[in-house]
Amino acid sequence: MTIHQKTSKKPQVAIMNAVHDLPVLVARDLGLFKDEGLDIDFVTTPGMAQITTSHLVKFDSIFDRPLDSVYNDGGVDQYRMCEWGIMKRAVESNLEDNHRVAKIVALGSAMSSFAIVVDPRSGIYEPEQLKNVCIAVSPYNGSHFTMLKMMEGFLKREDIKWTNAGTHKERLSALRAGKVNAASLQEPWISVAEKQGCRILIESRSTRSEAAGVELDGPTLAKMFRAEARAAEAIDKNPAKYAHYLLEEAGGAIQLGDLKLSRILNAPPTPYTRERFNDNYQWTLSWGLVPAGATYENTVDNRAWQ
């Protein structure tokens, strides 16, 4: 399959980690997309929170990530992930040749929780003790970007170190085995780590962004986001009812009583503002994680609200 080639006339929407995609999963299963008159193909791609994902996933570039490579080949039209990962993908696809262009089309629903955890036997009690200590992440994903955001409040940038230790399950296993001293995790793996007795040093929210190709017009995206907004409202009214999506990703490592339901937070998708773009692009650029030259006009398209 070549770049831009499509396999279906239906909108093809990616599903990855449940903590990112919970409103999409709930909207799908409650028939909320159908209520909006949409007929969608849902495409599951490997995610770092899924217990079935292996360490063989490549991260040599942003376009090697499983979801991005599927998008690049035309296998999906719309997806979401951490705000800075979407920023990097949208910027690079609009500045470089040979990649399918993606635009930021919304600030997404899921306000995912991330945490930096350590083994209680490590003697590490505060973020400052991670000076020049490698923190396990998966590159260019939320665990990477959110870790940088959290740690730069405590350490100089040059003292923040990271290493690729695979999926969340693999990172936690490496932590427990003493192979790494700290790991950046998202739900449900924060709760798994807590059940195993790990210590949380710092925790933060991380909002998703929504990306899409030019094939999806504004009215179609608007319908999708209305369905996600209804799903977000349903989740926030009764998070326990929908927690099974996260529990399934952990493969039985935790039960409902082990999951901290207050970490499940969602909101209606909203337009991606110029101010937000400027703040987040300049931050990502300051870390050398995106190339210079991007603008709000060539990266963002709020056509769902136009």
Last residue of a domain, one of 155, 190, 206: 206
In the chain, how many domains are there? 2
User: Does residue 151 fall inside a structural domain?
Assistant: yes
pLDDT of 62 reads 55
Asked if residue 94 belongs to a domain, the reply is: yes
What is the phi/psi pair of residue 222, to 5°?
Answer: -60, -40
Same-domain status, 194 and 274: no
Are 150 and 236 part of one and the same domain? Answer: no
Q: Are 120 and 246 in contact (CB under 8 A)?
A: no
Residue 92 sits in the same domain as residue 230: yes
> Given this model, what pLDDT does residue 4 score?
42
**Same domain, yes or no, for 38 and 155?**
no
> Residue 214 sits in which domain range?
12-112+207-305
CATH number of the domain enclosing 140:
3.40.190.10
- For residue 265, being part of any structural domain is answered with yes
Residue 6: inside a domain, yes or no?
no
Q: How much is the pLDDT for 2?
A: 38
In the predicted model, residues of the chain with pLDDT beneath 50 are: 1-8, 49-56
Q: Are 168 and 53 in contact (CB under 8 A)?
A: no
Q: Are residues 185 and 232 in the same domain?
A: no
pLDDT of residue 195: 96
What's the angle, vertex CA 146, arms to CA 82 and CA 268, rounded to 5? 40
Among 164, 179, 206, the domain boundary falls at 206
Query: What pLDDT sits at residue 82?
Result: 82
